[in-house]
Structure 1
């Protein structure tokens, strides 16, 4: 039996794992900028955090939409309880960061400390949990991971030997 498939894919490669690192990196970097602002009071750090949060929101929405397409495309994925926790937790992260962005945009650097720092801390902590759950979906439940039989068929279609191993680049 094959593993649960990713329906949002390009050339057999799932899109969701391609997008996910961006909001994670942007939100963690915004948290670090908030810490730097707290320590230095430098306006650069509050401005950088605003841009990082905005970028994280855009990429997070894209990753969420693609993840929703994947969830709707395979009933085996939807049946996994961890998926609902993963999706709901990430939706909460986006709401927290949207509120943080709104505060910063409307009230300026003065909102970075302490409210912005509290919001960034909560978002990054929750990202740790939802990231773990996403890893569980891939590594334990094999969501969007090709089974060996699927890889064998793919190699046959491409005219490669069934037992061919990936080659390392010299």
Structure 2
């Protein structure tokens, strides 16, 4: 069977597939543009919402186990911190996504973006729900939202890590030009 002209654009002369990103040198420019002294801000900020989302789940579990209101109050603060720091990390990540063509062109970047927006929605709902009464909010809905947040944190973080480790997206260039 002969290759049509459209499929031959994406294959080499020997019929092997050619990566369309590899064929465009400007798509290899994936270094961070939002950085302080070469350190990407998004990468620095994401640790906080990850840790705080997991801390919220831990505090909810400890409240459920002990009944101590301290843990419900700790979960309120942790969920608020997770949401607010997540917004800050999301803003810097969105700017990177939109400014850097080599990041924007990859479908995996958009998967990470969509998961992160979904995670921010869950974190915001979790915090907002607790603002009406943090002790009453824990069981059952607060801990359920915390479980969803933990799952989405894992999925979002896994995809973000894949972008960094597999594609070197949003990192600083190696060496000096």
Q: What TM-score bracket applies, with the shorter chain setting the length? A: 0.7 to 0.9
8 Å CA contact 2:39, 2:172 repeated in 1? no
Q: How many Å apart are 1:11 and its aligned residue?
A: 2.0
Determine which structure has the larger helix proportion and give its number: 1
Distance in 2 between the 1:101 and 1:152 partners? 44
Segments of 5+ residues of structure 2 without an aligned counterpart are 1-24
**What's the TM-score, normalizing by structure 2?**
0.80
Q: 2:72 aligns with which of 46, 49, 52?
A: 46
TM-superposed CA distance for 1:137, in Å, is 0.5
Q: Deviations over 1:12-41 (max 9, x none)?
A: 221110101001001100100000011111
The whole-number CA distance in structure 2 between the counterparts of 1:145 and 1:6 is 5
1:141-160 aligned at under 5 Å gives the runs 141-148=167-174, 151-153=175-177
Question: In the alignment, which residue of structure 1 is the partner of 2:18?
Answer: none
Cα offset, 1:108, TM superposition:
2.9
Counterpart secondary structure, 2:33:
coil
- Is the contact between residue 20 and residue 60 of structure 1 (CA under 8 Å) also seen in structure 2? yes
Say if 2:167 is the partner of 1:135: no
Select the structure of larger CA radius of gyration: 2
Question: Which residue in 1 is equivalent to 2:20?
Answer: none
Q: Which runs of 5+ in 1 are unaligned?
A: 154-170
User: Scaled by the length of structure 1, what TM-score is found?
Assistant: 0.84
SS of corresponding position for 2:90:
helix
Question: Do 1:35 and 1:117's aligned partners in 2 also have CA atoms closer than 8 Å?
Answer: yes
Query: 2:10 aligned with 1:20, yes or no?
Result: no
Q: What RMSD over aligned residues (CA atoms) do the two structures have, in Å?
A: 1.4
1:29-68 matches, cutoff 5 A: 29-68=55-94
